[in-house]
Structure formats: C-alpha cells, structure tokens
Amino acid sequence: MNRQSLFRLALSVVLSYATAGIGGALTELGPWYFSLRQPEWKPPDVAFGVIWTLIFTLCAVSAWLAWQASDSAAKRRRVVVLFGLNAALNIFWSALYFKLQRPDWALVEVVFLWFSIVCLMVGLWRLSRWASLLLLPYFFWVSIASVLNLQTVVLNGPFVGLTGR
C-alpha cells in the first residue's frame, strides 16, 4: 500500500469515527433514557458501543475501497455525497432520539437513514462489490434498531416535549 492509499484509509477512519463521535456525544443515557420501557429482546446498552465501533470501522474501509476504485471525479463525488448524506442522517437520528428525546420523530427519520444505507450499497456496487458488502452489517443493524425504535414508541406512547413523555 502506497502513502497516498494509506492517507486515504486514515482519512476514511478519521471521518467515520468523527461521525461516530458526534453521534456518541449526542447520545445521553441519563434518567430520561433509563425511564423508557424497552422490549425484552433489547441488547444490553454496552453492546451498542461494540456494534457501532465495528460498523463505523467497516464504513471507513468501505469508503476507502470505493474511493480507491473511483476512476473519475464524478465517481469520487458520488462516494463523498453518499457517505456524507448517510453520516448526516446518522447524526440527526441520535439528535432526535437522545438530545431532543423524541423517539417518535427518530422513527420517521430512521426510514431515511435506512434508505441512505441502501443507496450507499447500490451506489457502490459497480465501483467495488466489497465496499458495498462491507455495509451489510450496518444495514442489518439499522434494520434491527428501527424495530427497537418502533417498539420503544409503542411501549411508551406519544412523546410530547423536549424533556420527555
């Protein structure tokens, strides 16, 4: 691996973990969160950090592979737009769910997040099948998290304010 390729990989990791860091900073597991009724099948809170670390690492490698496979400015722009939009939606979900304490709004937004992952996978497929396939765990995890989000809304009723239910 040459220096330029190594730099691109490092940049992908930094940008991916920056997205994770911003989302993590918006995730407040305080009294409001712990007062929510959760489905019995919800994974333990400690598992979320491990899962998201793996997902953001795979996203970084995926972005790097897609960038390496892009042989034109238009293709590189597509990679940046697809990953940038997905990162923004990922952060926005955390802001809605945890910061604004609106799982109901997050449930609407997660549809867009999920769709952005599908767009990423489809958009990267022709550039690099590996880049696309590395996003499968992300796709499956957001699918599971969407059901968890739905169950949280069902179990807790409508949310009416910025300070909770």
Structural domains in the chain, sorted by start = 3-156 (1.20.1260.100)
- pLDDT class of 1 with cuts at 50, 70, 90: confident
**124 and 66 in contact (C-beta within 8 Å)?**
yes
Query: pTM of whole model > 0.85?
Result: yes
- pLDDT class of 164 with cuts at 50, 70, 90: very low
pLDDT at residue number 12 = 97
Over the stretch 84-111, which tens digit does the pLDDT of each residue have? 999 999 999 999 999 999 999 999 999 9
- pLDDT class of 157 with cuts at 50, 70, 90: confident
pLDDT at residue number 162 = 45
Cα–Cα dist 28/65, whole Å: 33
Residue 21 has pLDDT above 60, yes or no: yes
- DSSP helix/strand/coil, 164: strand
Cα–Cα dist 109/90, whole Å: 9
Question: What percentage of the chain carries pLDDT values higher than 70?
Answer: 96
Provide φ and ψ at 160, rounded to 5°: -115, -10
**64 and 134 in contact (C-beta within 8 Å)?**
no
Q: Around Cβ 62, how many Cβ atoms within 10 Å?
A: 26
Stretch 127-149: mean pLDDT, rounded? 98
